A and B are shown apart, each in its own frame.
Chain A
Amino acid sequence: MQILSITDLTGYLADLLESDPILSDVWVEGEVSNWSRAASGHCYWTLRQGDAQLQAVCWRQQALKQPRLPANGEQVLVHGHVSFWQGSGKLQLYVDLIRPAGIGILHAQVEALKQRLEAEGLFDPGRKRAIPSLPRRIGVVTSPTGAALRDILTVLRQRWPLCEVVLAAAQVQGEAAPESLVEALYNLYGVELDLIIVARGGGSIEDLWAFNDEVVARAIFASPVPVITGVGHETDTTVVDYVADLRAATPSVAAALATPNIAELRNELQLSTERLREAVELQLSEGRDDLVQAMRQLQHLAPQSRLDRDRQTVQQLRDRIQRGLTTHIAFQKLNLRGTRQQLEMLNPRATLARGYAVVRRADGSVVLSPESVADGDELLLELRDGVLGARVDHGIGPIG
């Protein structure tokens, strides 16, 4: 018989407990008592059921990840592993997950998985890829006999029959479902695709279980092309929905989100065709306008029209000269007439016509005063119609 040290024995106990497959991954339900949270952040409490009790500890790191910590008297469901702490000589449950007891173990497991995958970055919004707008090839992972496939194909036929569907059949429920889904996904990764739809019709949370499987989630994360999930009904959210690039509420919605609408494409096509026609018609009509303009210019520059224009110019000049000349002559005529009239007025003979006479001596000099002649001198009276001889007689007085 070998004598063991305490350290050896407690170490052996710890090793034994930690290597046990059941004890290293246990879910336990019980009532919380003696709850205490140390200054260090670690939590210690006793988990009870009737008279049975178990010491539980949750380290600070894990405690911080819990959405909410329990209080004394609450029923909780916890996950963790059992080990032996040499320091206190006690067997303890090392807890990494605490949930209210009511939610059930499946739910709690999903929560735990989500927490872990999220921490690893599998849900990172930054890595979500855009869904191609006109996919040519769509991979579909679903049951070949399910309503989900029928729904998807109906939507694809309506919206986007130009694409090709590559169906990778998989079991979507039951024990073998996760492995079957993973295989179908990896088979599709060997095919050239634009995107993948992972789908399953509605069912209970147990039915959708495979879509909460860690391996399936990681397989979706590994997809080289965008993945759209459409699992269950609107209200169901599974772990794969968080990993997928896009989550659709149902398989039909997944198919709709994956494709354009052919009716919209027809509109778009018609619009493009109209724009095409309008653009070319505009250019043609502009060309026509330019041509008309050029023809006008050409006509303007033609030799014949140049000659016509020159001839016209010459004619105009001639007309102007003519007009100028006529005006000039008329003016001169007027001028002449005026001068003549003036001249006429100065003609002494005009005075004679009114009855006056010019009196001259015999030598022809004009007599201007009576004293310049003596009685008996001979004078000549020049009248309108001739010359009259006369003799001076100062004795004849003035008339009147």
Chain B
Amino acid sequence: MPRKTATAGDATPSYEALMQRLQHVVERLETGELPLAEALALYEEGVALSTRCQQLLDAAELRIQQLSVGVDGLTMTPWADE
């Protein structure tokens, strides 16, 4: 049986990655040892990250795919509830 590996197709960073970066930014800022220009740039990045996270949480809608085996191997099709 041919087996095709399906991969997560989204190129946008995951919530986890965004959150990790945000936490890193917060920690760096909190050491307070950065030049001001760098600190401000980090702050802006942090705000953008936090906005992006917020958007992800607000807009999230559970996606459901059904996995099935066909002649081409594994295929995933959106699954309609009910």
Contact = CB atoms under 8 A, between A and B. Distances in A.
Given A136-B8, A191-B5, A164 B32 contact: no
A161 B61 CA distance: 5
Contacts of B73: 190
A164 B47 contact: no
Contact of B43 (A134, A157, A276): A276
Contact of B62 (A156, A184, A282, A287): A156
Contact of B50 (A187, A191, A269): A269
Given A272-B22, A276-B43, A279-B29, A165 B63 contact: yes
B60 A162 contact: yes
Contacts of B39: 279-280, 283
B60 to A, nearest CB: 4
Contacts of B15: 134, 162, 265
A262 B68 CA distance: 30
A276 B25 contact: yes
B68 to A, nearest CB: 8
A153 interface: yes
A287 B36 CA distance: 8
A46 B16 CA distance: 65
Contact of B56 (A139, A162, A166, A287): A162
Interface string B26-48: 10011010101001101100110
Nearest to A135: B16
Contacts of A191: 5-6, 67, 74, 76
Nearest to B15: A162
A149 to B, nearest CB: 9
A257 interface: no
B43 A168 contact: no
Interface residues of A, number: 42
A52 to B, nearest CB: 51
Given A136-B14, A191-B6, A273 B50 contact: yes
B81 interface: yes
Nearest to B81: A153
A187 B63 CA distance: 19
Counting chain B residues whose Cβ lies within 8 A of the other chain, the interface size class is 35 or more
Nearest to B42: A280
A300 B26 CA distance: 38
B60 A280 contact: no
A200 B19 CA distance: 34
Contact of A266 (B6, B46, B57, B61): B57
The interface centre, meaning the residue of A136, A162, A262 with most chain B CB atoms within 10 A of its CB, is: A162
Interface string B43-79: 1001100100110110011111111110001101001
A270 to B, nearest CB: 8
A162 B15 CA distance: 8
A391 to B, nearest CB: 118
A136 B16 CA distance: 9
A163 B66 CA distance: 14
Contacts of A139: 67
Given A134-B14, A153-B81, A279-B32, A192 B65 contact: no
A272 B63 contact: no
A169 interface: yes
Given A153-B81, A164-B64, A190-B4, 17 more contacts: A134-B14, A134-B16, A144-B79, A162-B57, A162-B60, A166-B67, A167-B64, A191-B74, A191-B76, A192-B7, A265-B57, A272-B19, A272-B46, A275-B29, A276-B26, A277-B43, A283-B39
25 contacts: A134-B16, A136-B14, A153-B62, A153-B81, A161-B60, A164-B8, A164-B62, A165-B63, A165-B79, A166-B65, A166-B67, A167-B65, A169-B66, A183-B69, A190-B3, A190-B73, A191-B6, A265-B57, A266-B57, A272-B23, A273-B46, A276-B46, A279-B30, A280-B29, A284-B36
Interface of A: 133-134, 136-137, 139, 144, 153, 156-157, 161-169, 183-184, 187-188, 190-192, 262, 265-266, 268-269, 272-273, 275-277, 279-280, 282-284, 286-287
Closest CB pairs A-B (n = 7): A279-B29, A161-B60, A134-B16, A280-B43, A276-B46, A162-B60, A273-B50
